Amino acid sequence: MKKIAWLAPAGFIALLVIAWHVAAGRQEVAIIPKPWEVFLGIVELAERGLLTRYVVASLFRVTWGYLLAAALAIPLGLFLGLRRRAEMAANPVIQILRPISPLAWIPIAILWFGVGDLSAVFLIFLASFLPLTVSAINAVRNIPAIYVQAGTNFGLSQRQLVWRVLFPAVMPQLIVGLRLALGIAWLVVVAAEMIAVNSGLGFLIIDSRNAGNRYDLVVAGMVMIGVIGLLLDTGMRSLEKMRSLRWGYGTD
């Protein structure tokens, strides 16, 4: 059954590649490369050692920015979710900052940290922090009151209530927030690398465009971004299959 489930997406991808090949072959001016040319571009990057270097650089920045955001945003969101007055005080600031694109912070990031990894990590941190904070707040707010009442009736202390009731109850919804925030972080690192650093997949795209119009390498970078994004999302979705969390997704 699992093999059959893969047939539909594999067939759809094959159709897209065929359509891409046909469309690229009918161009009057050869701008968009054909799939085979992009594949050769990926091979060229691998042979030059740039593919591994750029992928590792992008993942390094995403990892640090994302984990720092999660380490601070989740406890903060849980606290605000439990403390109504604190949430009311912080909510205006959160709602003011949320609509500001992380990319709008690029000039300030460069001014504070210069052109380098710290600027990109800072931008990824900003992109992940507020979505994770809001997800944690909403996760706490959506806990059925009967869970807390049951824990209280069993004589759990405040600390025990947090660890035995609060965390298990919020994890299903919190993992969804973590998954969405990781997708945002991966988007932001690519954009940040086009401006604020001199390595990574985003830098590969802009550098290939500026250095001789190597559109095969431009599209190769785009393909790698998509593939890695798919792998990251698949990894996060695998957390939803944990036996201790299945109940939160309505599975049997």
In the prediction, which pLDDT does 246 show? 54
| Ordered per-residue pLDDT tens for the chain, 252 residues | 555 666 777 777 888 888 877 887 777 766 788 888 888 888 988 988 888 999 999 999 999 999 999 999 998 998 888 788 888 888 889 889 888 888 889 889 888 888 888 888 999 999 999 999 999 888 888 887 777 777 777 777 777 777 777 777 888 888 888 988 999 999 888 888 888 778 888 888 888 888 767 888 888 989 999 999 989 888 888 776 666 555 455 544
Per the domain annotation, does 85 fall within a domain? yes
Structural domain containing residue 237: 50-249
> Cα dihedral angle (130, 136, 140, 142), rounded to 10 degrees?
80
Per the domain annotation, does 3 fall within a domain? no
Per the domain annotation, does 89 fall within a domain? yes
Other C-beta atoms lying within 10 Å of the C-beta of residue 50: 15
Domain count within the chain:
1
Per the domain annotation, does 123 fall within a domain? yes
Q: In a 10 Å sphere around its CB, with 0-12 CB exposed, 13-18 middle and 19+ buried, how is residue 71 labelled? A: exposed
Per the domain annotation, does 14 fall within a domain? no
Per the domain annotation, does 90 fall within a domain? yes
CATH number at residue 179: 1.10.3720.10
Per the domain annotation, does 99 fall within a domain? yes
Question: Both ends of the chain: CA-CA distance in Å?
Answer: 18
Per the domain annotation, does 226 fall within a domain? yes
In the prediction, which pLDDT does 244 show? 56
In the prediction, which pLDDT does 252 show? 45
pTM: 0.82
